[in-house]
Amino acid sequence: MEKRIVIAGGGTGGHLYPGIALARALMKHDPKIKPVFIGTQRGVEARVLPKEGFELKCIYAGGLLGKRGWDRWASWAKLPLGLLQSLAFLASRRPALVAGVGGYASGPAVLAAWLLRIPTLIHEQNSFPGVTNRLLGKIANRVVVSFEETRRYFSEGKTVVVGNLIREEFSALKAPLEPEAGGRFTLLVMGGSQGARSINRAMSEALDFMGDVKDQIHILHQTGERDAEGLAERYKEKGFSAEARPFFYDMAERYGKADLMACRSGATTLAEINACGKAAILIPFPHAAHNHQEKNARVMEKAGSAEVILEENLDGKILGDAITKLMRQPERLRTMAQNSFQLGKRDATERARDLCLKLMGSAV
């Protein structure tokens, strides 16, 4: 008999991909388990989940943090609509479990599940939880967190520290993922699932300061929709070997090719970097709630696995010099990669899966 579970959340890759990882782990354990996602039409889930083969139910939901005026009122108005949509969907499907992985849709869906007496689990990726998860933590049956310091924001009796949920292609690794020998040095640049204009701009400017290594480097750049065409032209104009695309769906393959990362420091990105064992130049998003991205990045820096450039200091010369310097220090890069791998929590998804199975009443 088919066992239905609902995974709610998304908006960004940082929230969505832990949900996909959990879905895959549950399906691998029991082929009768059928995950369905609840998200929004505006989030990254609308284009990623169809490619991953998952059903998506879209509801109305919006964030309140940082919103002002009409935008804030519009987000408030979506809450009861999203709750009603979630109630109707869950009542018709009657899943054995609803798991919230963060993002706008997580709140209405988990609340609806609680009202319908469906078991619930939430996952908090960051060290400092957002308002939605702090509230949901009061009603969820189980709270799964990535950091030990996050425990204090939730009930001790139902909170478990497992790490961030990562996909099987990352969690199964037994050693750092090394690129093929003999090829060009490969730099993977990411600003998150939607790109980052400040990183794109700095990378474009950095090419003017990287002429000495132009023939030694290949750049993979996830740009977001707005800057893809312009950056592709810029790389071509400056004579750099590069692939600039709005979004990379085959991210595990891209990680495998990379000698060095230049990226944001969201919790999911860092969990994948650590699982693979990659050295990184981290540029924290300065407007992240409670400055959690800089806090994440400093942990990597302290462990000797990353260099940190704050956005306020970011420009083409600083970024270009940092990349060039690390390219010329292969031994240091290897040490950084090993340090990164030591930080990885590759069993996080399996541990979260087992907690889900217990809530569903399944044998582990």
Query: Residue 148: what pLDDT?
Result: 87
Mean pLDDT of 161-171: 90
Q: Does domain 3-168+346-360 have CATH number 3.40.50.2000?
A: yes
Query: Residue 364: what pLDDT?
Result: 39
| Percentage of the chain modeled with pLDDT above 70 | 93
What 3-state class would DSSP assign to 85? helix
| Percentage of the chain modeled with pLDDT above 90 | 72
Give yes or no on whether 3-168+346-360 and 185-343 have one common fold: yes
How far apart CA 225 and CA 13 sit, in angstroms, is 14
In 3-state terms the chain splits into helix, strand, coil percentages (rounded to 5) of 50, 15, 35
Given a cut of 50, is residue 363 above it in pLDDT? no
How far apart CA 201 and CA 198 sit, in angstroms, is 5
Query: For all residues of the chain together, what is the average pLDDT?
Result: 91
Q: Please write the tens of the pLDDT for every residue from 48-98.
A: 999 999 999 999 886 545 555 555 555 556 788 999 999 999 999 999 999
From the number of C-beta atoms within 10 Å of its C-beta (0-12, 13-18, 19+), residue 156 rates as exposed
| Annotated domain spans of the chain | 3-168+346-360, 185-343
User: Phi and psi of 280, rounded to 5°?
Assistant: -145, 150
Query: Residue 175: what pLDDT?
Result: 81
CATH number for the region 185-343 comes to: 3.40.50.2000
Query: Residue 249: what pLDDT?
Result: 86
**Hunting for tokens 């609509």 — which residue is that?**
81
Q: Is the pTM of this model over 0.85?
A: no
From the number of C-beta atoms within 10 Å of its C-beta (0-12, 13-18, 19+), residue 155 rates as exposed
DSSP annotation of 174: S
Burial 302-326 (b: 16+ CB within 10 A, else e): eebbbbbbebeebebebbbebbbeb
Query: Residue 278: what pLDDT?
Result: 96
Cα distances (Å, whole numbers) of residue 308 to 45, 66, 223, 312: 29, 25, 20, 12
Q: Please write the tens of the pLDDT for every residue from 220-252.
A: 999 988 899 999 999 999 999 999 999 998 888
Mean pLDDT of 25-40: 95
DSSP annotation of 156: G
Given a cut of 70, is residue 131 above it in pLDDT? yes
How far apart CA 272 and CA 105 sit, in angstroms, is 24
What 3-state class would DSSP assign to 154? coil
Query: Residue 259: what pLDDT?
Result: 96
Q: Who's near 192: CB < 8 A, 6+ residues apart? A: 12, 13, 14, 224, 263, 264, 266, 269, 285
**DSSP labels for 87-127?**
HHHHHHH--SEEEE-SSTTHHHHHHHHHHTT--EEEEE-SS
Q: Please report the beta strands in 206-279, taking only residues with DSSP state E, as ranges in sequence order.
A: 217-222, 241-245, 260-263
Q: Please write the tens of the pLDDT for every residue from 267-303.
A: 889 999 999 999 999 999 998 877 889 988 999 999 9
Given a cut of 90, is residue 351 above it in pLDDT? yes
How far apart CA 62 and CA 72 sit, in angstroms, is 9
Q: Which residue did the predictor score with more confidence, 114 or 74? A: 114
Q: How many CA atoms lie within 13 A of 67 on its CB side?
A: 12
The count of other CB atoms within 10 Å of the CB of residue 253 is 11
The dihedral sign for the CA sequence 208, 209, 212, 215: negative
The amino acid at 333: L
**How does residue 2 score in pLDDT terms, banded at 50, 70 and 90?**
confident
User: Phi and psi of 88, rounded to 5°?
Assistant: -65, -40
Cα distances (Å, whole numbers) of residue 256 to 173, 179, 230, 329: 11, 6, 26, 20
